[in-house]
């Protein structure tokens, strides 16, 4: 595999995880209140 391909895949994975964490934070706060 090309090094650039690996870097792009890692960036996409990190971005997806980052967005998932941001999306989960309000849900966690709502679940904590109830």
pLDDT value for 34? 77
pLDDT value for 23? 93
pLDDT value for 15? 96
| Residue ranges in the chain assigned as alpha helix (H) | 3-33
CA distances from residue 28 to 2, 3, 15, 34 in whole angstroms, order as listed: 38, 37, 20, 10
pLDDT digits (tens, 9 = 90+) for 1-34: 799 999 999 999 999 999 999 999 999 999 998 7
């Amino acid at each position: 595999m090309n090094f650039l391909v690996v870097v792009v895949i890692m960036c996409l994975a990190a971005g997806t995880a980052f967005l998932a964490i941001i999306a989960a934070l309000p849900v966690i706060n709502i679940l904590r209140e109830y």
